[in-house]
Amino acid sequence: MRKKLLHSVKVVVPMMTLIMLLGQMNLSLATGSMGTINMTKYSPEATSTNNTTWGVVQQGFNDVKRGDWFYESVLKAQKAGYVKGIGNGNYEPQTKISHTEYLAVLTRIVDTNVETQDIGMNWYDKYIRSAKNRKILDDSSKIDMLAPAKRQDMIIYTCKALGLTPSTSATIIFSDLKVNDETAKYLQTAYDNYLTDGIGYDNDGKVKFGLDQESSRAELATMALRIQDYRNNKDSFIQERKIERAKAEAEYKEKHAQEVQNIVVNGFTINKAVDKYVAQCMIPDENGKVYTNLELELTAAVGNQEALAKVQRIIASKYGDATAKMLIDICNRKIDRDHCIEESIPIEGTRYWFVTSYSDDTSCQICIMDSSK
């Protein structure tokens, strides 16, 4: 009897040890704590963050700070479940996004069942399947899905996901699209639906799309929210975006109108529209005549900070911020003086700054003089 009991104990103990080891392995697989199993290392769309287990997501990221232009967008997109971190509590907002990352976010928005599907061999397989099922991605596509996505690729994916077809317009708004092909037509559709405004204006004031440029994960979050808003209420989205676009265009036109009036005199940049009072002696008249033989002559009313700021900007355009600030500080120090004060500051050779504060007409004048003339 004693031998049988000992034999049973010898059998049971190894079996219990094996069961405990299997339980520890299952726990490790569930938490992603085993180095060879932890897919956080390999997936740019991992769900885990600092000290959390799979499926538990902390709000916010270590590298997305309040004050960043993308802060609100990233947090809103994360809360909606559209974007996820890359592990260790980070988001990497400046990292370029791949085709798979963009399609993952896009299908999460348009396919509410995508997250319930089998993962497959790779973390992105279910998103690629969803994209193909919804005709966002062609079955015959030869694109390297792990490569960075171009801006035009993302817009085409977006249009297809939203059921938007290529534009039939003969005109394409973007100046950097040289061929009116299917890509250009999709981009025009996106512009017409206020899904993209391009990246700004070229030297001729025409809208640029940013062809072949890549986008960051920060921009990914912004685009995700834009697509969401479009799907939720297309009319409201377009109305809001129309107002924003009109405001941006007006600001550009105002800025551009000032920029085209910039002239360079003796190396100083002077704007004929806004600097005509402080630099009137240097701005040519309609006949091209300049009413001073000085290299620089600027005048501002003592205490008039707006005028002094213009003087400072003109000086800084050639001599830099430090020199410009030094001269304006001299003018400001003389505001309370009751008599004329002159100060000379060497530049190089026989040239020197000449700062004068006149008490009789309460003006401060900054010139460049040359003692050899």
Return the sign of the alpha-carbon dihedral for residues 103, 108, 113, 115. positive
**Has residue 237 got a pLDDT over 90?**
yes
CA distance 9 to 163: 68
Residue 48 is predicted with a pLDDT of 35
Q: What pLDDT digit, counting tens, does each position of 331-348 carry?
A: 887 655 555 678 899 998
Q: What pLDDT digit, counting tens, does each position of 98-152 carry?
A: 999 999 999 999 999 999 998 889 999 999 999 999 999 998 888 899 999 999 9
Q: CA nearest 301: which of 359, 363, 357?
A: 363
- The arithmetic mean of pLDDT across residues 349-363, rounded, is 80
Residue 311 is predicted with a pLDDT of 94
Residue 267 is predicted with a pLDDT of 92
pLDDT band at 305 (very low <50, low <70, confident <90, very high): confident
CA distance 332 to 364: 9
Residues β-bridged to residue 370: 351
Q: What pLDDT digit, counting tens, does each position of 145-166 carry?
A: 999 999 999 999 999 999 999 9
CA angle in degrees (0–180, nearest 5) for 275-279-280: 100
Q: CA nearest 173: which of 201, 134, 153?
A: 201
Residue 333 is predicted with a pLDDT of 76
Residue 119 is predicted with a pLDDT of 82
Among 84-98, 242-256, 266-280, which range has the highest average pLDDT?
Answer: 84-98
- The arithmetic mean of pLDDT across residues 315-340, rounded, is 82
- The arithmetic mean of pLDDT across residues 66-87, rounded, is 94
Residues found in the chain: 373
Pull the structure tokens for residue 33: 């704590």
Residue 325 is predicted with a pLDDT of 93
In the chain, what are the domain boundaries?
39-257, 262-370
Residue 18 is predicted with a pLDDT of 43
CB-based burial label for 158 (10 Å; 0-12, 13-18, 19+) = buried
CA distance 320 to 317: 6
C-alpha 26 chain-centroid distance = 43
Pull the structure tokens for residue 332: 């400001």
Q: Mean pLDDT across the chain, nearest whole number? A: 83
Pull the structure tokens for residue 345: 């500051």
Q: What pLDDT digit, counting tens, does each position of 14-64 carry?
A: 544 444 444 443 433 333 332 322 333 335 555 433 333 333 446 789 999
Residue 256 is predicted with a pLDDT of 78
**Has residue 358 got a pLDDT over 80?**
no
Residue 8 is predicted with a pLDDT of 46
